Structure 1
Amino acid sequence: MADGDNMIIAVREQIADRLRSDIISGALAPNQKLTEEALAQRFGVSRGRIRDVLLELSKEGLLITRAHRGTMVNDIPAPDLQALMIKLRRQIEIFAIKRVIKDRPEGLFDQLQAAFQELTKRLREHDFAEVTKADIAFHRVILLAAGGEDLVNLWQPVILRMRMNYQRISTPEQAIAEHEAIIHAIQTGDAKAAIAAMEGNIR
């Protein structure tokens, strides 16, 4: 791939990441309308570049496009739908954790440790948007190792919609301990403990 193509992808991902942070933090509120023109001006890029970003975030479930209304931030799920999403996420991640314990993918533990260190840092900084992204990144390591992009693409819209309504219900140290328990159970090959740790973390 040419350097110019790599630069285009890097800029697009930077814009997408900024908008994810804005949605997760509430800087962009549910049902807030987004326009290609305004975003192109904000980021100093073409409307075509913005169109690609909006499509990516729509696939992730963070944005929605409605006829005659345009593209807007997706609404927070209703409580019953939120409960269903939690169940779906648990099923997907339990499937993934069983598979990685069985297959022991090469490099998994180093990737998990790196993701865990970033999550720990963000938790102790009390940065809501960055904690959410780091938490997603930690779990994404397991999903990728278990089933590649196919499994991630099944899981990602569910977790991102859930994280739009994310509220920490434990202290940073409790959250850190929950993720340490997941890593330890995977390292020791204890599927029962891994499932229990994952279920305790997803709520």
Structure 2
Amino acid sequence: MHPKDLAALQDDLFSTWEGAVAFRLFADQDIPTLTVPEQIAARLGDRILGGQMAPGERIGEQELADEFSVSRGPIREALRILEREGLVTILARRGAIVTELSATELSELLDIRAGLFEVVVRKLAASQHPELLPMLRAGVARLQTLAPHPEAGDAYAETTYRLLILCARMTGNRRLQRMLTALSLQTLRYSKLGLASIERRQRSAVLWAQATEALETGDVERLVSLTRQRIDESAAEAVRLLAASAPRSRP
């Protein structure tokens, strides 16, 4: 799909809300207030989350120092930030690599994220933020538009990310928002994997629509159940694909 065609698909009502979600590390801070290492970490994080840097890829400190016109000190600090966020692994005597995708890590991350998002869902159901349902309806319409297009997998996953963060913001709990944002960034690469197929995206869009309907009717337990089901199904697909791509050991 041509980038212009994808942009046209995304030119919808959801654009009213999504501009409030910065798709990067330190999304709750203004770029001018970030330190140099934080700015570099944000740039590198964008590349990792966007797929420009592949899992297992070596990260050269000197190459980055040359690119950003800094010494290796700020680069090392930026890499430590990314290690803390789970996007980079620093190996003794070998340097830094982009963190490999792992079924075990995915399971651990999603257990925590699902629990946090259940807190979000219950808070939202109780508060009924006036913009919540319009935002969800617009987001679901975006997902339904993107789901059947073969090359819209990343855009679909990024839209679900923004929906999650917008929901967290509407609870008014900033600590909850920060925790969910960090976990969602760490799981985004897995989400893109689990939503790579048209079939999976269409199934996900159905569950998002059903969850929105449950919220409208006040059926909180069904809303919580559908949310967990959506997360679990995407995780299961990501695990399946990770297992299929893993090198087989010889007998």
TM-score between the two structures when normalised by the length of structure 1: 0.72
Residue equivalent to 1:92: 116
Q: Which residue of 1 aligns with 2:4?
A: none
**Structure 1: gaps of 5 or more residues:** none
- Which residue pairs with 1:175 in the alignment? 204
1:162: how far off? 3.4
Residues 71 and 159 (structure 1), Cα distance of their counterparts in 2 relative to 1, 3 Å cut: same
Greater share of helix residues, 1 or 2? 1
User: Which residue of the partner structure matches residue 101 of structure 1?
Assistant: 125
> What is the aligned partner in structure 2 of residue 20 from structure 1?
49
**Secondary structure of 1:124 counterpart:** coil
Partner of 1:38: 63
- Residue 32 (structure 1) shift: 1.4
Structure 1 residue 132, shift from structure 2 partner: 2.0
* Match of residue 127 from structure 1: 152
**SS of the residue 2:148 aligns to:** helix
Unaligned runs of 5+ in 2: 1-30, 34-38, 233-251
- Per mean C-alpha deviation after superposition, the further-off stretch among 146-155 and 174-183 is 146-155
Identical-residue share of aligned pairs (%):
17
Q: For residues 137 and 36 of structure 1, do their structure 2 counterparts lie closer, same or farther at Cα, with a shift above 3 Å needed? A: farther
193-202 or 66-75: bigger deviation: 66-75
Inter-CA distance 176–52: structure 2 relative to 1 (3 Å threshold): farther
> Post-superposition shift, 1:92?
1.1
Match in the other structure for 1:64: 89
Summarize the alignment of residues 45-84 of structure 1 with structure 2, pairs less than 5 Å apart. 45-47=68-70, 57-77=82-102, 79-84=103-108
Classify 1:15/1:71 alpha carbon distance in 2 versus 1 (closer, same or farther; 3 Å). closer
- What is aligned with 2:183? 158
Structure 1 vs Structure 2 CA RMSD = 3.5
CA distance in 2, matches of 1:202, 1:130: 17
CA distance in 1, matches of 2:129, 2:122: 12
Please tell me whether Structure 1 or Structure 2 has the larger radius of gyration of its CA atoms: 2
Residue 185 of structure 1 aligns with which residue?
214
Deviating more after overlay: 49-58 vs 31-40: 49-58
Secondary structure of residue in 1 paired with 2:53: coil
| CA deviation after TM superposition for structure 1 residue 89, in Å | 2.0
Structure 1 contact 182–194 (Cα < 8 Å) conserved: yes
The amino acid that maps onto 1:73 is: V
Q: How far apart are 1:105 and its partner, in Å?
A: 2.0
Structure 2 residue 171 is the aligned partner of structure 1 residue 146: yes
* 1:104 to 1:18, Cα distance in 2 relative to 1, 3 A: same
Structure 1 residue 52, shift from structure 2 partner: 8.3
* CA distance in 2 between partners of 1:82 and 1:57 (Å): 17
User: TM-score normalized by structure 2?
Assistant: 0.60
